Amino acid sequence: MTALVTRRALPGSVDRLALAGAALIVLVVLAALLAPWIAPYPADEVDPVNALLPPSGAHWFGTDQVGRDVLTRVLYGGRTSLSIAVAVLAVSAAVGVTLGVVAGYAGGWVRDVIMRVTDVFLAFPALLLSLTLAVVLQPSVTTVVVAIAVTWWPWYARLSAATAASIANRPYVDAARCLGVPAPLVVVRHVLPNSLTPVLVQLSLDAGGVILTAAALSYLGLGAQEPVAEWGLMVQQGQTLFTTNWWVVTFPGLAILVTAFAFNVLGEGLRGALDPRRIVK
Amino acid sequence: MIEVRDLQVAYGGRVVARVPELDLRAGECVAVVGESGSGKSTTLLSLLGLTEGADVSGHVRVCGVDVLTATPRELRAIRGARVALVMQSPQAALSPTTRLGVLMRRALRLHGLPSGERVLAEAAEAVMLDPGILRRYPHEISGGQAQRFAIALAIALGAEAILADEPTSALDVTVQAEVVGVLRRLREERGLALLLVSHDLALVSTIADRVLVMRDGTVVESGPAAEVLSRPAHPYTRELLEALP
């Protein structure tokens, strides 16, 4: 067998779009992290006299019903929304990948049990299950995280189980066993690290979805509660004013749109770049 | 070192390998030859108790351990440290996300052996590899280097025997000669025993002391290499020899 000299093909358009997505994400994350320093006003400063002012030099994104600066709220809202996304994805990936890798490597009845449990969770429409959980638990940011993570981990379990099952038959896994490496170590050192690439792509693709779902739950009053700044909650509070005071709902809405879009574009770009079918001679 | 009597390996009632007798002593090289699917590799794996889901019967003794009745812990203790396996596809046998040096160090620690830089470098040099290669990832080395690394790993672990499954079939001719040269030298210098599975009779004739010819899971002929290869008794052995280019 001759060794192929390969390189990854990155068609310019996809590559540039993915880079733009990554740049946008960096910008959003920085804005959220630096909110306390760059926000023009304190987060919860109520100023009824200046309520519902349109965008101006003093308030770039205008003010809301109680006179809070919308730009400030969007910046702080990013902290909440991104924290939710990170927490949900961390919990989902940790639980899902662990179960999936064990199922994929062990096979047999272990896989059957884990995958059937996974199927039960997948059988419920995700938003419906999240909604039910959010109703049962007290509305809060933590509730949103729990409710979304419960519906999100099965996808990671299924993805990792498939990858791990194919990795488990690779010669280097056999080689490790031939060296006397115990099964748990084989999983941790060889199966897990080599199963992570598709998970990384999925994480990026999912980040946008999680932010949208969290926004939806908050919008329905089941997530973040006043006075917490959260994009979904801000959209919900501003929607009745859309025809009269468009800025209250538009800017948090745009923030959701731009962030979700950026993560999706980055995920698609990563998927393209890491797809073996794109490797050319 | 390795003693096999009446070994039979079956999957779901179908016998895939039957070996009435196979002995490997220190410093000796025994070759198992036959075409693909003749049960050679299965025989090799069964010696380390690595044929999962198979019904294995008979008597297999490796380094004093009865493989068929041994506990998982006893089996892990002989795997790698006493009997090492060198596989057919050298690069595929190395985890792509692990540097070679890290891999070797972990294997040494696993078996409670010293794993200092010096040990690693000496093992690499024993197979004529530049120790600098230990900082590389598997995709950064050639097939021949990967195969020599697998042998270096066996040496570092102090293996007394190497089971090699088609160790040169994935390599080009000049690299094959390199790997065979290393194996031959280690045999002479360290008394390493070698159980070679191969369909390459040219390779077998240059290195093996004794030969087992397998077909359809059964040993059809066995004896000293010179004798079997020059005066084959079984028609199948003659067929294999005639197929040589």
Q: Please tell me what DSSP assigns to residue B179.
A: H
Is the C-alpha dihedral spanning A25, A31, A32, A33 positive or negative? positive
Q: Which fold has domain B2-242?
A: Rossmann fold (3.40.50)
Q: How many CB atoms are located within 10 Å of the residue A95 CB?
A: 17
pLDDT at A38: 92
pLDDT at A276: 54
Question: Two tokens at B79?
Answer: 């795997």
CA–CA separation, B153 vs B189, rounded Å? 17
Q: What is the mean predicted confidence (pLDDT) over B50-61?
A: 87
Mutate to test the interface with A, among B83, B97, B115 (most CBs of A within 10 A): B97
Q: How far apart are the first and last CA of chain B?
A: 35
B231-234, long-range: CB within 8 Å, 24+ apart, which pairs? none
pLDDT at B230: 87
pLDDT at A165: 93
Give the residue from chain B lying closest to A1, CA to CA.
B170
* B164 Cβ contact partners less than 8 Å away, ≥ 6 residues apart: B85, B86, B183, B194, B195, B196, B197, B198
Question: Domain segments of chain B: what residues?
Answer: 2-242
CA atoms within 13 A on the CB side of A101: 22
Q: Which residue has the tokens 């025989």?
A: B43
| Residues of A in Cβ contact (< 8 Å) with B96 | 172, 194
A170 touches chain B (CB under 8 A): yes
User: Under an 8 A CB cutoff, do B98 and A177 touch?
Assistant: no
**CB of B162 closer than 8 Å to CB of B180:** no
pTM value? Answer: 0.77
In chain B, how long is the greatest CA-to-CA distance?
53
A68 touches chain B (CB under 8 A): no
**CB of A43 closer than 8 Å to CB of A70:** no
Q: Which residue has the tokens 């309520």?
A: A51
**CB of B211 closer than 8 Å to CB of B228:** yes
**Least confident among A211-225, A264-278, B120-134, B179-193:** A264-278
Q: How does strand B210-215 pair with strand B29-33?
A: parallel
User: Under an 8 A CB cutoff, do A3 and B48 touch?
Assistant: no
What is the nearest CA distance from B233 to chain A, expressed in angstroms? 34
CA–CA separation, B82 vs B76, rounded Å? 10
**CB of B91 closer than 8 Å to CB of B65:** no
| Residues of B in Cβ contact (< 8 Å) with A176 | 95
pLDDT at A14: 57
A5 touches chain B (CB under 8 A): no
**Radius of gyration over every alpha carbon of chain A, rounded to an integer in angstroms:** 22
**CB of A71 closer than 8 Å to CB of A229:** no
Which segments in chain A show pLDDT lower than 70? 1-14, 275-281
| Residues of A in Cβ contact (< 8 Å) with B81 | 180
Altogether, the residues listed in chain A come to a count of: 281
**CB of B7 closer than 8 Å to CB of B58:** yes
Select the CATH number that applies to the domain covering A11-42+59-280 from these four: 1.10.3720.10, 3.40.50.720, 3.90.1720.10, 2.60.40.420: 1.10.3720.10
* B1 Cβ contact partners less than 8 Å away, ≥ 6 residues apart: B24, B25, B26, B62, B63, B160, B161, B193
| Residues of A in Cβ contact (< 8 Å) with B94 | 172, 175
| Residues of A in Cβ contact (< 8 Å) with B93 | 171-172, 174-175
**Radius of gyration over every alpha carbon of chain B, rounded to an integer in angstroms:** 18
**CB of B204 closer than 8 Å to CB of B211:** yes
pLDDT at B105 over 90: yes
Q: How many helices (H) and strands (E) does chain A have?
A: 11, 2
Amino acid found at B2: I
**CB of B198 closer than 8 Å to CB of B225:** no
∠ CA A49-A54-A57 to the nearest 5 degrees?
95
Q: What is the mean predicted confidence (pLDDT) over B77-98?
A: 86
Give the residue from chain B lying closest to A179, CA to CA.
B80
| Residues of B in Cβ contact (< 8 Å) with A172 | 92-96
Residue B3: enclosing H or E segment and its boundaries?
strand B2-11
CA distance to A88, A132, A208, B91, per residue, from A143 (Å): 11, 11, 19, 48
pLDDT at A163: 93
